[in-house]
Chain A
Amino acid sequence: MALLNDLAKKKEGLVNGHRLCPGCTHSVIMRQALAAADTDKYDIVIAAATGCFEVSTGLYPYTSWNVPWIHSAFENAASTIAGVEAMYKVWKKKGKTNKDIRFIAVASDGGTYDIGLQALSGAIERGHQFLYICNDNNAYQNTGNQRSSATPFGASTTTSPNGTIIQGKTQPKKDIMSVLEGHHMQYIAQASPSNWRDLMDKVKKALDVNGPTYINVIEPCTTGWGFPAHKAIEIAQLAVDTCVWPLYEVVEGKVVINYKPKNKLPVEEYLKPQKRFAHLFKKGNEHLIEEYQKQVDKHWEWLLKREESGISY
């Protein structure tokens, strides 16, 4: 992996002037991903699903993208890129192009966990060569923080508000990684923008796979989660250190954990700075934090056991 100074010399794939909130990590993730792509060797084409990122970088007649970029609808980032990839393959066969092009689909959790799941599943099953990056900001942040199936347990959103009876979302977060594992893909990974080297390695690896690949990235949202803008990267780091967001990859069904925190922090460290979890710290709600911790521990232990056993598909 190159040094940051070498990466900084490269032409930026995503330029400034986009209308994302100050401190939004959507662009941080994409800048890191595009910096990791070996653009001397191949070109990149991107398809985007509707979401914060799409509306703020593709505000007609402006675009913040320095690479070819296509958007059609909320639910079909995967099928859009699948179509582009299929056309590219035909062109290559007919000799219309001899370029090496790699394809990326970008969506948030709404366009991946819920609305885009069918299109994503279909495109993976058909075996198109593309990398799907999900910037998981835990809710429909574009329309104002409505709950999605990626919203974690206990989080207060506008459609799962905390009140006297119900304390935020009552259901746990969907385990999308396991859902995608069911497709028996060659490469699936989970990453965080705070660990940029890890994220870049994963993007590079995924782009070189001949087939569909998926990377799930945590995307702290300053307005939706309720923390000051300058804390964005810190929150992502806390999610990693508390094992709320473990950094791991599944290579041909085999789990590899990329980062094991030396001292695993209690989930309170991650929950405390965020306004959406503020009600969990009220008197009488201690059991909810215990429950949260239990869910996180269970998943982490399951991952550790899977890595140890070394079984694959």
Chain B
Amino acid sequence: MAEKLLDWNEVLIGATIKDPGNSRSYETGSWRVERPVWNPDECIQCMFCWVYCPDSSILVDENGKMTGIDYDHCKGCGICVEQCPKKSKALTMLLEADAKGKSEEEIRKEAFSK
């Protein structure tokens, strides 16, 4: 979040931002109403969710394999679930209200039991 605004004499000429990609510190995950839940046992690592994610919120390891979802930035649009070829088995949506205060294991159970 924006802390203190810069003074006029602290702003760089041309409103240059020296720190590339610093919007990462702004967490858009708070916008979410529904969250995608990932089931690693069913995932075939096709990476379609990664290529279609508008918010770069599919976490990837050094081998280019999916390792989870970045809930700090995911806006919950649901494109990943829609494009997942496993049809709601590897990725599915769950209301944030139903996920509140639960552990990852419980959330997964809740989401895939429906």
- Chains A and B form a bound pair: yes
A residues apposed to B, CB below 8 Å: 3-9, 12, 14-28, 31-32, 35, 57, 59-67, 193, 196, 222, 228-234
B70: chain A residues within 8 A (beta carbon): 16
A17-B26 in contact (CB<8A): yes
- Least CB distance, B57 to chain A, in whole angstroms: 6
A64 and B77 in contact, given A8-B47, A9-B63 (Cβ under 8 angstroms) = no
Q: Mark B72-101, 1 if CB is under 8 A from A, else 0.
A: 010111110111000000000000000000
B52-A23 in contact (CB<8A): no
CA distance A196 to B65 in the complex (A): 18
A27-B50 in contact (CB<8A): no
A196-B51 in contact (CB<8A): yes
A23-B77 in contact (CB<8A): yes
- Least CB distance, B105 to chain A, in whole angstroms: 25
CA distance A28 to B64 in the complex (A): 18
A25-B50 in contact (CB<8A): no
A5-B56 in contact (CB<8A): no
What is the number of contacts between chain A and chain B, taking CB atoms within 8 Å?
130
Q: Which 5 A-B pairs rank lowest in CB-CB distance, beginning with the nearest?
A: A230-B78, A5-B64, A17-B23, A23-B77, A22-B75
CA distance A21 to B32 in the complex (A): 11
Answer whether residue B106 sits at the interface, using C-beta atoms and an 8 A cutoff.
Answer: no
B residues apposed to A, CB below 8 Å: 2, 6, 15, 17, 19-28, 31-32, 45-48, 50-58, 60, 62-66, 70, 73, 75-79, 81-83
- Least CB distance, B12 to chain A, in whole angstroms: 10
CA distance A50 to B55 in the complex (A): 20
Which of B31, B45, B62, B82 lies in contact with A230, CB distance below 8 A?
B82
CA distance A14 to B53 in the complex (A): 12
Which of B23, B52, B63 lies in contact with A18, CB distance below 8 A?
B23
A229-B64 in contact (CB<8A): no
A63 and B50 in contact, given A14-B56, A230-B77, A233-B79 (Cβ under 8 angstroms) = no
* Contacts A/B (CB < 8 Å), 18 sampled: A3-B64, A4-B47, A6-B64, A9-B63, A9-B64, A15-B23, A16-B70, A16-B73, A17-B25, A17-B28, A23-B75, A61-B2, A61-B6, A62-B22, A63-B22, A64-B23, A231-B82, A232-B54
A66-B65 in contact (CB<8A): no
CA distance A21 to B28 in the complex (A): 10
B66: chain A residues within 8 A (beta carbon): 8
A64: chain B residues within 8 A (beta carbon): 21, 23
A15-B31 in contact (CB<8A): no
